[in-house]
């Protein structure tokens, strides 16, 4: 299975140099002067065992005579549309420039898979720029030197799973899988969320057989429509249905996956016991928000916990819905118990929204819808670097990291390296010595201060070189 990789970035960061190295022939022209006339180059790259198509967007620079930002925008947007994955290069010696930020923002907004590399990273002169690269919000940068061929193994190891995923994707239902790290807008002084929603919000309803999944999905659909998936029963793939929900800023398009329930409603002959965890796992992969549907009579069974944990590990936003609330005799006491159990049994999803519903009567479905849309927003949230660092110094002052063996650990700088789910990097001395409990202290603090309940939060400690 082959794929197409586009190398993007502002002029002079080393795109053509990398292209040449990957393609192995001097197909692209390299020049010290930015913006020199070049043609679009496309070649077959070899990296380890991988063969793929690579596009050098440097050649597209000439396509219009707009201002640089306008040109970069068009180039980058074209690259995203053409490629399966974009490799954004920045110059680690120069650090992050406003044009780099503009390119990164387009990549985040436009969607698609992105790998970030800090190029020209041979030697110590690149250390500062490498740290700045995290602030582009595209994840952890690869330390690369296109000229010296360093970091290519790291690039390979990021492309391998992608190549596998693309191969798998062709065999399964390709376009349903959500991309991560996209649709994000940034803003200098406000915590931003509410992405521009190019595609429907992808929701999966998972839970034990008989929890009420298909009843719930049908109730959310509004009408008494019988769901007949395309060729249901022939395929074991998830069947989806798209609908519009009312939101604060107009209709929210939502696509729901309910493997088990829908197939059942589609009158597919399938044994109930097969419609369990395996289907749940599949649905989780497709979703942005996972609704774990519990039966109020038998809540938090091990199967429920496993699927919630899996959703967390896969980095999905989670909402817990407790169904059959109409049949519950003592609601107040039950709710208190459920909340307590939820916090105790799912500490990794602290503050996860818990909504009681009755799929049968329709009670609570509006609250469930708001909880899902809210969880999706939190999942997309982006906290500006300045606010994070202010917050970090407060946290360190209140409770400095313990000094193992008398050696002080200095937490120097923090930035949000990704969204969907939110991921943060803390630059520090001796990252390996930061206790797990201290990371938890920071994660819980992030949740509380920046209002991110229930979403998986990733935190990486990194040293500066």
Binding residues for GTP: 9-16, 56-60, 119-122, 207-214, 258-262, 323-326
Q: ∠ CA(227), CA(233), CA(238), 5° rounding? A: 65
**210 touching ligand GDP, by CB under 6 A:** yes
**259 touching ligand GDP, by CB under 6 A:** no
**214 touching ligand GDP, by CB under 6 A:** yes
CB atoms within 10 A of CB 329: 6
Q: Residues 55, 40: contact at Cβ < 8 Å?
A: yes
| DSSP codes, 145-192 | BTTTTBTHHHHHHHHHHHHHHHHHHHHS-GGGSPPSS-S----SSS-B
Hey, which residues between 323 and 352 contact ligand GDP (CB under 6 A)?
Answer: 323-324, 326-327
**130 touching ligand GDP, by CB under 6 A:** no
Closest distance of CB 289 from ligand GDP, Å? 18
CA dihedral 191, 193, 195, 199 (to 10 degrees): 160
Cα separation, 115 vs 7, in Å, equals: 10
- Site stretch for ligand GDP (CB under 6 A), options 204-212, 246-254, 340-348, 447-455: 204-212
Closest distance of CB 32 from ligand GDP, Å? 4
**11 touching ligand GDP, by CB under 6 A:** yes
Q: Which of 17, 76, 192, 416 binds ligand GDP (CB under 6 A)?
A: 17
**212 touching ligand GDP, by CB under 6 A:** yes
Q: Which of 8, 206, 211, 368 binds ligand GDP (CB under 6 A)?
A: 211
**32 touching ligand GDP, by CB under 6 A:** yes
Nearest residue to 414 (alpha-carbon basis) of 438, 443, 392: 392
Long-range contacts of 297-303 (CB under 8 A, 24+ apart): 297/324, 297/327, 298/208, 299/338, 299/341, 300/338, 300/341, 300/342, 300/345, 301/208, 303/208, 303/276, 303/277
Closest distance of CB 246 from ligand GDP, Å? 22
Nearer to ligand GDP, 323 or 455 (CB): 323
Q: Residues 73, 106: contact at Cβ < 8 Å?
A: yes
Nearer to ligand GDP, 151 or 178 (CB): 151
Which parts of this chain interact with ligand GDP (CB under 6 A)?
9, 11-17, 30-32, 34, 58, 119-120, 122, 145-148, 207, 209-215, 260-261, 264, 323-324, 326-327, 358-360
């Amino acid at each position: 299975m082959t794929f197409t990789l586009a190398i993007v970035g502002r002029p002079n960061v080393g795109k053509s140099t990398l292209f040449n190295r990957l393609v192995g022939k001097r197909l692209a022209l390299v020049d010290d002067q930015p913006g020199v006339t070049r043609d679009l180059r496309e070649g077959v790259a070899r990296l380890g065992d991988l063969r793929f198509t690579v596009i050098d967007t440097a050649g597209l620079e000439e396509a219009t005579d707009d201002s640089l930002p306008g040109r970069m925008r068009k180039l980058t947007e074209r690259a995203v549309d053409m490629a399966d994955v974009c490799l954004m290069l920045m110059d680690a010696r120069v650090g992050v420039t406003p044009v780099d930020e503009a390119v990164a923002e387009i990549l985040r907004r436009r969607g698609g898979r992105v790998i970030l590399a800090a190029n020209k990273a041979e030697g110590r002169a690149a250390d500062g720029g490498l740290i700045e690269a995290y602030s582009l919000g595209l994840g952890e940068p690869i330390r690369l030197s296109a000229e010296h061929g360093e970091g290519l193994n790291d690039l390979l190891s990021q492309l391998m799973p992608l190549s596998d995923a693309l191969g798998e994707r062709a065999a399964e239902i390709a376009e349903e899988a959500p991309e991560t790290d996209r649709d994000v807008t940034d803003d200098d002084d406000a915590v931003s969320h509410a992405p521009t929603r190019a595609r429907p919000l992808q929701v999966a309803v998972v839970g034990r057989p008989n929890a009420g999944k298909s009843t719930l999905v049908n109730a959310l659909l509004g009408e008494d429509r019988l769901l007949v998936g395309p060729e249901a029963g022939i395929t074991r793939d998830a069947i989806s249905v798209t609908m519009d929900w009312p939101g604060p800023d107009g209709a929210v398009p939502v696509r729901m996956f309910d493997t088990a329930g829908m197939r059942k409603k589609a009158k597919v002959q399938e044994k109930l016991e097969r419609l369990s965890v395996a289907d749940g796992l599949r649905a989780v992969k497709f979703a942005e928000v996972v609704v774990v549907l519990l039966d109020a009579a038998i809540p938090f069974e091990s199967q429920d916990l496993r699927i919630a944990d899996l959703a967390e590990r896969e980095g999905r936003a989670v909402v817990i819905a407790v169904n059959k609330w109409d049949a519950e005799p003592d609601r107040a006491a039950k709710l208190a118990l459920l909340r307590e159990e939820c916090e105790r049994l799912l500490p990794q999803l602290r503050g996860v929204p818990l909504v009681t519903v009755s799929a049968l009567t329709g009670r609570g479905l509006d609250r469930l819808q708001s909880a899902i849309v809210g969880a999706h927003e939190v999942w997309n949230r982006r906290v500006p670097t300045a606010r994070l660092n202010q917050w970090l110094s407060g946290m360190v002052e209140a409770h400095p990291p313990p000094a193992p063996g008398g050696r002080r650990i200095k937490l120097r700088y923090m930035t949000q390296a990704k969204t969907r789910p939110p991921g943060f990097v803390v630059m520090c001395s001796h990252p390996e010595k930061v206790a797990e409990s201290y990371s938890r202290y920071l994660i819980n603090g992030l949740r509380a201060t920046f209002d991110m309940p229930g979403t998986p939060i990733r935190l990486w400690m990194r040293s500066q070189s």
